[in-house]
Amino acid sequence: MSNENKSIHEFDFSLICEYFASVDRQGPGSPEVTIKALSFIDNLTNESHIADIGCGTGGQTMVLAQHTSGTITAIDLFPLYIDRLNENAGRLNLQNRVKGIVGSMDNLPFWDEELDLIWSEGAIYNIGFERGLNEWRKHLKTGGYIAVTEASWFTDERPIEIDEFWKDAYLEIDTIPSKVAQLQKAGYMPVSTFILPENCWTEHFYVKQEAMQKIFWEKYAGNKTAEDLVANQRHEALLYSKYKEYYGYVFYIGKKI
C-alpha cells in the first residue's frame, strides 16, 4: 500500500500536532453547524456543566461558550492544543467559564451524573462511537444531552476506493440509520441528526491547511514523515471532492433517558 493510503494515525504525532495547531480546527465543522446543533439542546442554564471532549485547539469550544452561559471543561490528549485553547479563551475573555485540561477520553475526570451536556466534534472515533456513547453516558445527568459528530455513510453501497480508504481509517464508519440505532441502544433518545454541509470540509478544514502545507514543505524538506503528512491530507481532500455523495460527518444528538 502506498503512503498516501495510510491512515493519519500512523504518522508521528508531534508533527501532526504542530501542523494542526496552526489552524482553528482539527476536524471538519463550522461555527454555524455548532450553533445549529446547540439549538436542539434545551436544558442549559448558568449552572450547567458542559464537557467538550477531544476539543483540539477549541474552535468549537469558543462558539459553544459564546452561545451558552454555564462552564465548559475542554479535554484533549495533546498539551499543545490545550495551551492554544486556553490562550484563545483568555483572548476572548472566556477564561472564567472555559477551562482546557489535558486528559484522555477513555478515562474522563468527571463524577457520575456531573454533566448537563457532552460535546465532541470529530473526535469520538478515537475510542469508537459505540464505546464513547456507552462509557461517557454515566457522567451525564438524566435528561442531559450528548452531541457528537461522526463519519457516516450516506448510502448502502459505494465505490471500492472510498470503501477501502475508510475501512483502513475507521472500521466503525456506518450508515446513519445504524448509528442512530446505536445511539438508542446506548440509552439515549435520538433527538436529531443532520449532515454537515460541504463547506465544513472544504472552506473550514482542507482549505485552511494549505498555508501550513507550504510551510511544512519548506521547513521539513526531505523529512519523510512531514511529506507523508502533507500528501496524506491532500489525498484525503481529493477523495472528499471525488466521493462526497457517499460519506461525510453527521451530528448525532441524543438525550439521556
Is 78 one of the binding residues for ligand SAH (CB under 6 A)?
yes
Is 104 one of the binding residues for ligand SAH (CB under 6 A)?
yes
Is 77 one of the binding residues for ligand SAH (CB under 6 A)?
yes
- The closest alpha carbon to 200, from 44, 35, 12, 16, belongs to 35
Sequence-distant (≥ 6) Cβ neighbours of residue 235 within 8 angstroms: 4, 5
Is 85 one of the binding residues for ligand SAH (CB under 6 A)?
no
Sequence-distant (≥ 6) Cβ neighbours of residue 11 within 8 angstroms: 225, 228, 229, 232
Is 179 one of the binding residues for ligand SAH (CB under 6 A)?
no
Segment near ligand SAH (CB under 6 A), from 71-79, 92-100, 222-230, 245-253? Answer: 71-79
Shortest spacing between CB 123 and ligand SAH, in angstroms? 4
Spatial separation of the C-alpha atoms in residues 11 and 16, rounded to whole Å: 7
Spatial separation of the C-alpha atoms in residues 167 and 22, rounded to whole Å: 28
Q: Secondary structure of the chain: what % helix, strand, coil (to 5)?
A: 45, 20, 30
Is 248 one of the binding residues for ligand SAH (CB under 6 A)?
no
Is 122 one of the binding residues for ligand SAH (CB under 6 A)?
yes
- The closest alpha carbon to 204, from 13, 33, 8, belongs to 33
Show the site string, 15-54: x = touches ligand SAH by CB under 6 A, - = not: ----------xxx-x------------------------x
Interface residues with ligand SAH (CB under 6 A) are 25-27, 29, 54-56, 59-60, 75-78, 81, 104-106, 121-123, 126
